[in-house]
Structure 1
Amino acid sequence: MAKRPPATPSLFEVEAPRPLADRLRPMSLEEVVGQDHLLGADGALRRMITGGRLSSMILWGPPGSGKTTIARLLAQHTRYAFEPLSAVFSGVADLRRVFDAARERRRMGEETLLFVDEIHRFNRAQQDGFLPYVEDGTVVLVGATTENPSFELNPPLLSRCRVLVLNRLSEEALEVILARAEKTLGRPLPLDADARRALKAMSDGDGRYLLNMAETLSALPAEPVIDSQALVAIVQRRMPLYDKAQEGHYNLISALHKSLRGSDTDAALYWFARMVVGGEEPRYICRRLVRFAVEDIGLADPQALVQALAAWEAYERLGSPEGELAIVQCVIYLGTAPKSNAAYRAQGAATAAARESGSLMPPAHILNAPTRLMQELGYGRGYQYDHNAEDTFSGQNYFPDGMARQRYYTPSGRGFEKDVQARIAYWDRLRAAKGQG
C-alpha cells in the first residue's frame, strides 16, 4: 500500500509564527520522551507497530505527556489514515462524517485511525455510538483522556479497548525537552541551576507547559541570569492538578489516610497541603479525619476522636485560612498516635455473625416483662441485677441461647488499649470463676 504523502503547507502557513511547543512536536516515536514502558523494545505500542496492526486503545495520562503526538505517530508508522476529533467541539454529524469516510476507505483497502481527544467528555449515548464501528473494524479508535477510564467510559466501550497509561514526565524527560528547546531557540535560557530545577518543578510533568514557559523566558536578555525567586515573579506559578470531583480527589485523600495509618506525619501534612492548595473543601478532610480516628486509632488513644471533632469544630468557628491550623494540629496528633483497628475489626466480625445467625432471640432472662403474658412466658425470670452482685458482676450469659460465646474485640495492646486489654482479662477471670467462661 502506498504511503499517504504529507500535506504540503501553504506559503502563509510556512511564514506564520508557530508556538515553540508546536515546532518541537516529535516527528517520530523515537523522539517521544518519558514513555519507554510503551514505546521501548518490549512496550505494548512497539509490539503493535512491529506487527503492523493496531488495536483500539485508550491513552490515559496527565496533560502534556504526549497522548496526541503518540496517536498521530502511530498512524504515520502503520500508514493508517489519521482522523482527529475533539470531544469538546465535535458532535454526531462529525462522527457520522468520519465513519462514512472510514467505511469508504475500507472498501479501498485502507485503514482508519480515529483519534478522539478528551473522549471522556462524550456522554454515554455518544460513547455507545462507537461500538459497532470499533466492533467491525471500520475504525481503530484511539481515545485520549486525563480522567480515569474506569469512571468515565462505558464498560462496553472499555471492554473493546486496551487502556495504556502514560506517565507524568520525569525531571530527566523534562530536561531533554528543555535542551531541545534551547537548541531550537539558538541559546540557553537565562537561568541559574536552581531556577532551572524550579522551572521543571513548576511544569508539574507537563512537557507542553514547560515549552510554553521556555518560550516566555526566551524573550529575556541573556544577562542577568535569574534565580528561582525571580523566576516565580516572571512566570505564573502553576496550580497543581487536582479535580475535586474526579480521581485526584480520591487519590489524595487515600494518600493522606494511608500516610496517617503508617504514622508518617510529615507525608500526611504534605498530602493535606496538596488538597488545600488544590481547593479541596476542608470540611471533607475533617470528616475523613474523624473516620480515621475511629477506624485506625480507636481505643489505642480515645483522645484521637476528641481531637478530630475539636479540629472540625474549630474550623467551623474560624473558617479559612485560620481554621486550617486546627486541622493541621489534628493531622499531627493522629499521625503520632498509637494505631489500632481492633474496634473496626470487631465491628466487621460482629456484623458477619449477626448476618449468619439469623433471628436468634435474646435469652429470656434479659428481656423486660411489661405484661402478664410476658411474665408467664418467663421474660425476665432469673435476671440478676449486676449492681447487687459481688464486684458488680453477675457473670450471666447475654448471648442468644444455643450460641456459644464469641470474642469479636481483641485489643491491640498498644496505647490505652493495653489498659482495655487488662480490663477484659479481669472480667474474663470473674466470668470463669462464676462458671460462665
Structure 2
Amino acid sequence: MADLFDSDTAQPDRPEPKRPLADRLRPKSLAQVIGQEQVLGAEAPLGVMLASGSLSSLIFWGPPGVGKTTIARLLADETDLHFVQISAIFSGVADLKKVFEAAKIRRQNGRGTLLFVDEVHRFNKAQQDGFLPHMEDGTILLVGATTENPSFELNAALLSRSQVLVLERLSLVDLELMTQRAEQELGRALPLDADARDALQEMADGDGRSLLNLIEQVSAWKVDKPLNRDALATRLMRRAAKFDKSGDEHYNLISALHKSIRGSDPDAALYWLGRMLEGGEDPRFLARRLTMMSTEDIGLADPQANTVCLNAWQTYERLGSPEGELALANAAVYLALAPKSNAVYVGIKAARRLAKQTGSAPPPKHIMNAPTKLMAEQGYGDGYAYDHDAEDGFSGQNYFPDGVKHPLLYQPVERGFERELKRRVDYFAKLRAQRNS
C-alpha cells in the first residue's frame, strides 16, 4: 500500500536533473569573473587587498545579477576561509547566534569564517550591531550584499568597520562575453540573428543571471532559421527596467531629469522622462517636479515656463495616461530649451539668511501703518513718500529695517527676459542713488 504513495521507491533510479546554466557557468576563480574591473583589477580595492593579504570586512552595493554572491564565495576560496551564506530576509537572531558559535569553534581550530549576508540592509539596527563584536575580535569576516544605498540603510558603526565597494550593472560588452561562454557550454550558437542577439542582451538590463536564464530559454527553441528582433520579442516578454519608486533609483532618475533640463539638453530630458514613465513613476510626481524646475532653474528668464508646466499638469489631470503624458513631455522640452536663471532662487535663500541675522527688527516707521491715534503720535507713517506722486513714479525711500544696509539679493542674469529685468534693476538702482545722494 505504501508503494502507491512512495513513487520514488516504485520507480528505477532517475538521472539527476541538469544544473541550470547560471550555476554551470559560475566562475571558478576571481580571474573568470566578467566585469567589475573597478573592484577586482590589480590596482582596484579587492586586487590590492588580496595582493597584500589584508582583506577586511566588505559591503557590496549594486543591482541584482552582477556577481555579489559569486565574488564573496571566490574570496573565501582564495583566502582559505570557511564560507557561510545567510539571507537577512530569512534569518533572525537565533540563526546568527548559531553562525557566530560555529565560527568561534572553527577559529579555535585555526580557520576563519567569511560570513556572506545577502540583503544585509534587511537587518534592523540591533541586529546589525550584533555583528560588531564578532567582526572586531576576528570571529568572522563580514561580506554584506545590498541593492540599497548603505549610507541610508546600514548603521554608522557597521559602515565604519567595513569598506563599501560598488558593483556596477554589466555592460553590453560584458553580456556579449557571457553569451559566448554560454554558447561554448551549450555546444551551439543561439538561434538568433545579430540584431536579435543584441536585443536579448538589452532585455537582460545589465543582469548577468537574467541573461543566462534568457539564454537557457532561447537555446531550447526548435527553429528553422535564426530569429530576428521582432520574432524574439514575440516569444519573450521584455523585462521591465529596474525602477524602485521609493528607493535610490527614484531619486537618481529624477536627478538625471533635473540636471538634463538644467543643462539645456532636450534629448536627455525626454530620455529620463521616458525612463521614469516606463518604470511606472506617477506622472503627477513628474508634473510637480517639472513645475518646481520652472521656478528654480528658469525663473524669470522665461516667466512663461511656469505657465507651460502648470498647463501641462492640468492637461494630464484632464486626459490621464497615456495621452496626458505628452503634455509632460512638451513641458520637459520647453524647460530644457528655455533660458536659465536661478537668480530668484539664490535671492530668496540670501534673503532668508539675512532674515535670520536681523531677527525681529521692525520695518522703518515711515512705511508702517498708523490705524490708531497713539501709533500716529509715535511717528508711524511719518515721512512716507507715495511713489506715484514722485518724479518718475519712484521715491527711492528705504524699505529695510533701520541699520540694515540695502543688500543686493536679486541679481538677474543676461539671459532671456531677465536681460530686461536687469536693465530695470540697474535703472532703479541708479535713481535710488540719485535720490539719496
What TM-score do you get using the length of structure 2 for normalisation? 0.94
Quote the residue 1:86 is aligned against: 87
Indicate the larger mover: 296-305 or 426-435.
426-435
**Aligned pairs (5 A) from 1:115-154:** 115-154=116-155
Q: Equivalents in 1 of 2:15, 2:211: separation in Å? A: 24
Q: Which amino acid is 1:143 matched to?
A: G
Q: Deviations over 1:292-348 (max 9, x none)?
A: 000000000000111111111111122111111111111111111111111111112
Distance 1:415 1:163, change over 3 A: same
What SS class does the counterpart of residue 142 from structure 1 fall into?
Answer: strand
Structure 1: gaps spanning 5 or more residues:
1-11
What SS class does the counterpart of residue 268 from structure 2 fall into?
Answer: helix
Quote the residue 2:68 is aligned against: 67
Q: Deviations over 1:62-97 (max 9, x none)?
A: 111100000000000101010100112112221111
Q: Deviations over 1:216-272 (max 9, x none)?
A: 011123631011111111121011110011000000000000000000011011000
Q: Equivalents in 1 of 2:237, 2:230: separation in Å? A: 12
What SS class does the counterpart of residue 114 from structure 2 fall into?
Answer: strand
Quote the residue 2:353 is aligned against: 352
Q: Deviations over 1:77-118 (max 9, x none)?
A: 101010100112112221111000001111112100000011
Indicate the larger mover: 184-193 or 381-390.
381-390
Distance 1:373 1:190, change over 3 A: same
- Is the Cα–Cα contact under 8 Å of residues 53 and 78 in structure 1 kept in the other structure? no
Q: Equivalents in 2 of 1:375, 1:417: separation in Å? A: 41
Quote the residue 2:220 is aligned against: 219
Quote the residue 1:8 is aligned against: none
Quote the residue 2:39 is aligned against: 38
Structure 2: gaps spanning 5 or more residues:
1-12
Q: Which amino acid is 2:274 matched to?
A: A
Q: Equivalents in 2 of 1:243, 1:313: separation in Å? A: 26
Q: Deviations over 1:274-301 (max 9, x none)?
A: 1111111111111111110000000000
Q: Equivalents in 2 of 1:407, 1:214: separation in Å? A: 64
Q: Which amino acid is 2:92 matched to?
A: G
- Is the Cα–Cα contact under 8 Å of residues 362 and 399 in structure 1 kept in the other structure? yes
Quote the residue 2:332 is aligned against: 331
Q: Equivalents in 1 of 2:39, 2:387: separation in Å? A: 70
What SS class does the counterpart of residue 250 from structure 1 fall into?
Answer: helix
Q: Equivalents in 1 of 2:165, 2:221: separation in Å? A: 39
Quote the residue 2:52 is aligned against: 51
**Alignment of 1:341 onto 2:346:** no
**Alignment of 1:373 onto 2:374:** yes
Q: Equivalents in 1 of 2:49, 2:427: separation in Å? A: 68
Q: Which amino acid is 2:228 matched to?
A: D
Quote the residue 1:240 is aligned against: 241
Q: Which amino acid is 1:236 matched to?
A: M
Q: Deviations over 1:361-417 (max 9, x none)?
A: 211101111222211211111111112222221121111222221111111121111
Quote the residue 2:5 is aligned against: none
| Offset, 1:53 | 4.0
Quote the residue 1:9 is aligned against: none
Q: Equivalents in 1 of 2:373, 2:223: separation in Å? A: 100
Q: Equivalents in 1 of 2:301, 2:14: separation in Å? A: 70
Quote the residue 2:304 is aligned against: 303
Distance 1:139 1:13, change over 3 A: farther
Q: Equivalents in 2 of 1:372, 1:265: separation in Å? A: 61
| Structure 1 stretches of at least 4 aligned residues deviating more than 6 Å after TM superposition | none
Q: Deviations over 1:145-169 (max 9, x none)?
A: 1111111111111111110011111
Q: Which amino acid is 2:436 matched to?
A: G
Q: Which amino acid is 1:172 matched to?
A: V
**Alignment of 1:263 onto 2:264:** yes
Quote the residue 1:200 is aligned against: 201
